[in-house]
Structures are given as structure tokens and as C-alpha cells.
Amino acid sequence: MSSKPSRSALAALHPRKTLAFRLSAAYSLAGLILVILATASLYIVLRTELNRSTELFLADKLHVLQTMLRERPDDGEALNEEIELESQARRYQQFYIRLLDERGVPIMTTSGMAEQLDLVELASRTRGRSERPIAMVGRHGKPFRVTSASVAVGTPPTHNDTVQIAIDISQEDDLLARYRFWFWGILLMTSVLFPLVGFRIARDGIRPVEEIAAIARRITSTSLRERIESEGYPSELASLAGTFNEMLERLEESFERISRFTADIAHDLRTPVNNIRGEAEVALARPRTADEYRDVLESSLEESVRLSELIGDLLFLARAESPFTELHRETVNIGELLTTVHDYYEASASDAGISLVNDGTEPLSAELDRSLMLRVMSNLISNAIAHTPPGGTVTLAAKNEDAAIRIEVSDTGVGIPVEALPRVFDRFFRVDPSRSKASGGTGLGLAIVLSILTLHGGSAEITSQLGRGTRVTLRMPVLATR
């Protein structure tokens, strides 16, 4: 049996680290590394410099003694002054000098040297070494740097004496120890402070994201009015909040449209159903003649036809909006298409006293769904005929525009008021509901036109002047775009 751990079990084992945690951990680590590097390198430089200055000082002293012994080997006073007085002149950096003859018998020694240092050890440790100073601990635990050198006496040299120099470096060691103390102190402080400050900065940075998430979590179909106040947000998050607000705006708009649409559907379905029911109830209230029953049945049939047309239109619109809707494209000769609809509507137009003119006889063709385009044309022509008084004209035209076809249906009818124009493509919108209902309009005709044009990758526009007429312009690409 497979024992693969579930996703939630894995998540419990390895809890997701928050962004604030990751950011503050990264800040702290980077900060600590920087502090360690800076303080450690300063410490190394300081220690090297202190050592170097001690070495230079010892080398300098040795050089002075070498010169004195070479040039004035018998000037004991000067030598004594150098060895005794000079060494006492430095209060904070005591140093000691001892001069031994060629047999190793001390000639001159700075007073107090034997008390501070084990001279036997000094001699044995510095014997045979180069002049580079070595570290040595004094009798009282004080740190020293000691060196010794063989020095030629007289010019020309008669023999070699030995000079031993020791310098007390406790001041330098104290300084370095204080430095190390501060180094650890600063490290301790920063390792507490950095994560705190880092966490604070990260949390402040992330707060807008959390606010956006909280609002997103609160939003339901009834609270789409909510918006994010992005004042004070950094620009990246302000633009995220802006995008989010725009999305809410669109959602709110489409929710409103859907609820309006649902109310309209309910209303439009209820009317014919109520009519059928009312008539049936009245008819059944008492016995009727065959003619009376026939009248009721005819009227019910009419209402049923209206109902099924409405349901058919609604179904069509719902299918047209589905992303899986496929067009059955073929090469359609536009001239032929216009002639077909023209011929179909000519009789009803002339019955209404309207002349239907076909100007679209140019040989144009495009990749279109023929039966849907017939539906578009018949919706537009029947609208035009319905809203044009006798004596008027309805004109069909088609033109080639770059890689698009433009089809126009214009009439010399009643026109549409300016304020109603932006809404005529909306579902169930009627300029004058009472008038349209009388003529059987559902308010879905232009919505269906627009959705078919959208399916074809085209557009539909309407211009109108009250009392002078209306023109609907369709544009669609010659070649299939999807």
C-alpha cells in the first residue's frame, strides 16, 4: 500500500515561513556579517599597527645603541644615559635594556629589569634568533616584547657585545582587550537589534499586502462596493491596489448587470405566462362555445410563440458568451447575403409603405458564419422597418475598409433619443417599452447583433437623430481572427 504523505501533513511538518520572517532573517544575517567583517578587520589592522610600532621602536633603540657602541665605545656616560634615563622617560611604555660583553657578563642594565623579567629565560629565548622581537611574559604576568642583537664595538670593531631589549606592551594588550570586549558587546547588541528592526521594517512593508488580502477575503457578491484606500502605500503596492480596485469595479458592474438581467428575464417571462393562465382561467370559469375556445387557444399559442422566441434568444445569448462557442465560418459573398435579406424583407417593407434599397452590391467576401450573419441582418432590418413610418426608406450598404468589411443599415425613421443611444445594445433595453411590446420586440435584438459581431472579432455602432433616422454600422475582419 502506498504511504505517500498528504499535502496538509507535509505543510504541518514544514510550516510555511512568513515573508516578514524571511526578510528580517535576511536583513539580520546581512547586517551581522557586515558588522563582523567591519569590526574584525578594524581589530586586525589595529593589532598589526600596534605590533609594527613596537617593532619599529625596538629597531630604533637597537640602532641608536649600535651606533653609539661602534662610534663611541668608551663614552660610558652617554651609554648609561641612553640605557638608564631614556628607558625611564616613558612612563606608559616601560622598556629595559641590558648590555652584555662578549663573555655574557652584564656591563650595564636598566634598573628594575631583573625584577620584571627572568633574565636567564630572556637570554635563552632570544639567543641565536634574528632581531625580530618575540613575546614573553614577565615575572608579574606582564606581557613583553623582547629582542636581542650582537653589536660590533669600536671602529674598526674590536669585539661584539650583546644588547637585550624588552618593552612592556601591557598598554597595547589592554587596548586590544577593550576592543575585543566592545566587539562582542556590539555583536550581541546587533544580533538582538537587527532581527527586531528587520522584522519591524518587513512588517511595515508587508502590511498593505495583508490589508489587500483582508479586503479580498471579506468581499462577497453583496459587498463589492468595498475599495482599498491605497494612500501612503509604496508605488508598487499602490498600483496593485489600483488594479484590484479596477477589478472590483468591473465585478460590481457585471454583477449589477446580471441582477438587472435576471429581474428583466423574470419580468418578461412572467407576462406571457400570466396572460396564458388568465385566459385559461377565464375560459374555464363556465362552459364556452367552440369559437370562444378557439380564440383562447389562438391567443395562448401567440403568447407561447413569444415565450419560446424569448427563451430561444436568451439561450442564444448565453451560448454566444460561452468561451467554447465555435463559429461555422465559410467564405460569404456579402453582396449575395444582402440580396438574400433584401429579397426576403422587400414584401413586408412595401406592405408597410417603406422602400428597402440595396446599395451593397459590390463583390465583397469575408470569412463569416453565414447563418449568424443572416440573423444579424434580419434583426437590423426588422428594427429599421418597425421604426420607420410609411414613405420612409431603409438602405443596406457594404464597403471594403482595409482588411475589414463595413456593413450599414440606415433608415429614415423615428430615430433614438441621445440619452438612450449608449444603452440600446444592452439586453432587454427598449427605448419605449410600451411601443416595443406592442410590436413584439423583446429588447434582445441589438444585444444579439453585438454578441454575434463580438464572436466574429468585429464591432457594432449606432448613430441616430431623433425624427431623422438611424444608422447601424457593423465592422468585421475579412479573414477569420479566431
Residue 138 has a CB neighbour count (10 Å cut-off) of 20
> Which range, of 118-126, 178-186, 223-231, 426-434, touches ligand ADP by CB under 6 A?
426-434
- 106 strand-pairing partners: 100
- Do residues 325 and 315 touch, judged by C-beta distance below 8 A? no
Q: Which of 424, 452, 453, 478 binds ligand ADP (CB under 6 A)?
A: 424
How far from chain centre, in Å, is Cα 190? 31
Nearer to ligand ADP by Cβ, of 195 and 445: the residue is 445
CA distance 370 to 328: 8
Check the CA dihedral 309-311-313-315 and report its sign.
negative
Q: Which of 443, 450, 452, 460 binds ligand ADP (CB under 6 A)?
A: 443
Nearer to ligand ADP by Cβ, of 110 and 436: the residue is 436
Give, in order, the Cα–Cα distances in Å from 220 to each of 217, 230, 252, 421.
8, 21, 10, 33
- 26 φ, ψ (degrees, to nearest 5): -65, -45
Shortest distance in whole angstroms from residue 332 CB to ligand ADP: 22
Q: Which of 61, 145, 342, 430 binds ligand ADP (CB under 6 A)?
A: 430
**198 lies in the binding site for ligand ADP (CB under 6 A):** no
Check the CA dihedral 266-272-274-280 and report its sign.
negative
Shortest distance in whole angstroms from residue 320 CB to ligand ADP: 14
Nearer to ligand ADP by Cβ, of 127 and 435: the residue is 435
Q: Where are the alpha helices (DSSP H) in 72-169?
A: 76-80, 86-89, 113-116, 119-126
Nearest to 413 by CA among 446, 383, 447, 433: 383
Shortest distance in whole angstroms from residue 343 CB to ligand ADP: 20
> Which range, of 140-148, 257-265, 298-306, 427-435, touches ligand ADP by CB under 6 A?
427-435
φ/ψ bin of 428: left (φ > 0), alpha (ψ from -120 to 50), beta (otherwise): left
Nearer to ligand ADP by Cβ, of 441 and 458: the residue is 441
Look at the block and give the residue holding cell 413584439: 440
Give, in order, the Cα–Cα distances in Å from 420 to each of 259, 312, 434.
20, 26, 15
Shortest distance in whole angstroms from residue 480 CB to ligand ADP: 27
Site string for ligand ADP, 383-422 (x = CB under 6 A): xx--x-----------------------x-xxxx------
- Do residues 417 and 431 touch, judged by C-beta distance below 8 A? yes
Nearer to ligand ADP by Cβ, of 100 and 448: the residue is 448
- Do residues 390 and 426 touch, judged by C-beta distance below 8 A? no
Shortest distance in whole angstroms from residue 327 CB to ligand ADP: 22
**446 lies in the binding site for ligand ADP (CB under 6 A):** yes
Nearer to ligand ADP by Cβ, of 117 and 449: the residue is 449
CA distance 194 to 24: 8
- How long is the chain? 482
SS (H, E, C) 34-67: HHHHHHHHHHHHHHHHHHHHHHHHHHHHHHHHHH
Q: Which of 94, 412, 442, 451 binds ligand ADP (CB under 6 A)?
A: 442
Beta strands in 156-305 (DSSP E): 159-168
Residue number of the CB closest to ligand ADP reads 441
Nearer to ligand ADP by Cβ, of 373 and 431: the residue is 431
**456 lies in the binding site for ligand ADP (CB under 6 A):** no
Count how many Cα atoms sit within 13 Å of the Cα of residue 284 in the half-sphere of its side chain: 6
Shortest distance in whole angstroms from residue 260 CB to ligand ADP: 15
Element (H, E) at 463: strand 459-465
How many residues of this chain interact with ligand ADP, rule: CB under 6 A?
22
**345 lies in the binding site for ligand ADP (CB under 6 A):** no
Cell reading at 135: 613575546
**429 lies in the binding site for ligand ADP (CB under 6 A):** yes
> Which range, of 9-17, 218-226, 265-273, 431-439, touches ligand ADP by CB under 6 A?
431-439
Shortest distance in whole angstroms from residue 395 CB to ligand ADP: 12
**272 lies in the binding site for ligand ADP (CB under 6 A):** no
Nearer to ligand ADP by Cβ, of 115 and 432: the residue is 432
Residue 269 has a CB neighbour count (10 Å cut-off) of 14
- 167 strand-pairing partners: 95, 145
**349 lies in the binding site for ligand ADP (CB under 6 A):** no
Shortest distance in whole angstroms from residue 334 CB to ligand ADP: 20
**431 lies in the binding site for ligand ADP (CB under 6 A):** yes
Nearest to 94 by CA among 118, 82, 110: 110
Nearer to ligand ADP by Cβ, of 83 and 446: the residue is 446
Nearer to ligand ADP by Cβ, of 3 and 434: the residue is 434
Nearer to ligand ADP by Cβ, of 110 and 464: the residue is 464
Q: Name the residues that contact ligand ADP, by CB under 6 A.
A: 383-384, 387, 411, 413-416, 424, 429-432, 436, 441-447, 470
